[in-house]
Amino acid sequence: MMRQIRASQPLVNDPVLIEYINDLGNRLVKNAQDVNYSFEFFIIRNKEINAFAFFGGHVGIHSGLITLADTESELASVIGHEISHVTQRHLARRLEAQSRNQPLTTAAMISGVLLALVNPSVGMAALTTTMAASKQSSINFTRGNEQEADRVGIALLAQSGFDPQGAPDFFGKMAVKYRYTSKPPAMLLTHPVPESRIAEARVRAHGLETRPSAPSLNFALAKARIQARYESTAEENIAIFEDSIKKQNYTYKAAVNYGLALSLFENREYQAAKKILESLLSEDKNNLFYADALTDVYIKTKELDKALVMLSALNLLMPNNQVVTLNFANALVESSQYSEAEVLLQDYLLVKPGNFIAYDILTTVYEKQDKKALMHATKGEIFALLGAYSRAVDELQTGYNFTDNQPIVEKRIKARIIQFQDQEQKLKRL
């Protein structure tokens, strides 16, 4: 299912935002009960308000949901709710019940579930077609499931140091915002919020220790980054951030300045962006939001030495951090230090296998070094991450033709071909 999502949805392959949302999610996971595997949190570039979870601890959040939230506790409440759906096995229990009641194929159920989670308006139709006239034809969690996820999620919110009022506040905000609209957001199709449910959530939250959490700089920076990079035009965003600075309409001035710097960068005003980012980084030397943006600026202004000095220091402090590693590798490639970039990325992929961006940069590294066998093999890994196993095998077979009697590379490519063919056959059998 995750490979299908990578192939079909506009995932935000942004190391800084991925790092932020996984840090936030794992702060909740470490306090959750019945966690049997690591969770993966990802962001889909979509202004629709939605979040969903499915097997194996995969939790997707639409970018529009992050920008709608006013506090980190509100955002954490949605993530905690989705974590609770996973730990309480709601989706698994629902599919088990479906399989007992109807002779559905696994593929039909999975494809319908996937569509309904990511795009409820389309998915509901697909499920209705698949499940005929069944009364259980929607993926909406039952009222009992929702109540349980609310109860567990709100408790999890408090246990993790967030304000439990974030849950009723956010759902109440959604209910008010979309009360009179003909088309509710995707999240309300799978997570209806009647007044009774909001009231129950408020009562439940009041029963817990109230912890008004301090405003989060990283949350404010994440919102500013989404606005500057993924919403509106550069000119519009410059006007938005400059207006916020002028009216002092912000929680953190640093976050608004950061958003302005990103918008200036998108508008190719590199020197103006550099001035702001260097000032921000001087006040917060290990902030990866700033370091990531400043790396992009230094590459554009051909100040690669500055980028390498900054990233080398951060790499010693935070080895194998995805933001640092990927920016460092990119800067090394830009400065034609391909061998150093290759070693850095290979080491990173040993501990963090399956990173899409790392494979993409590594493909460029091998291409620059004219290592055709490894270049095609790495392209194969990228296609496999998208579930395109036939194309992955094609790339590997092409790479095999360039191995030039390198026994280790030949064996590795042969093994991966067999593995990908096996995965493809499993999908066909479904």
For the annotated catalytic residues, the residue numbers are 82, 150
Inter-residue contact 44 to 10 (CB < 8 Å):
yes
Q: Using CA atoms, how far apart are residues 28 and 153, in angstroms rounded to an integer?
A: 9
Of residues 276, 167, 184, 148, the one with CA closest to residue 224: 276
Q: Using CA atoms, how far apart are residues 379 and 311, in angstroms rounded to an integer?
A: 26
**Chain position carrying tokens 């077979």:** 397
Has 381 been labeled as part of a binding site?
no
Joined tokens for residue 307: 């980028």
Inter-residue contact 162 to 211 (CB < 8 Å):
yes
Alpha helices (H) in 318-355, listed in sequence order: 322-334, 338-351
**What is the CB neighbour count within 10 angstroms for residue 86?**
25
Residues pairing with 52 in the sheet: 60
**Chain position carrying tokens 């392959």:** 13
**Chain position carrying tokens 């042969």:** 414
Q: Using CA atoms, how far apart are residues 115 and 223, in angstroms rounded to an integer?
A: 27
CA distances from 350 to 37, 135, 345, 392 (A): 19, 47, 9, 20
Joined tokens for residue 180: 């009179």
Has 231 been labeled as part of a binding site?
no
Of residues 131, 123, 126, 128, the one with CA closest to residue 99: 131
Q: Using CA atoms, how far apart are residues 165 and 163, in angstroms rounded to an integer?
A: 5
Has 146 been labeled as part of a binding site?
yes
> How do beta strands 58-62 and 51-54 pair?
antiparallel
Q: Using CA atoms, how far apart are residues 117 and 126, in angstroms rounded to an integer?
A: 12
CA 52 from chain centre, in angstroms, equals 12
How is the beta sheet containing 51-54 ordered, strand by strand?
A: 40-44, 58-62, 51-54
Which helix (H) or strand (E) segment holds residue 56: the answer is none
Annotated binding site for Zn(2+): 81, 85, 146
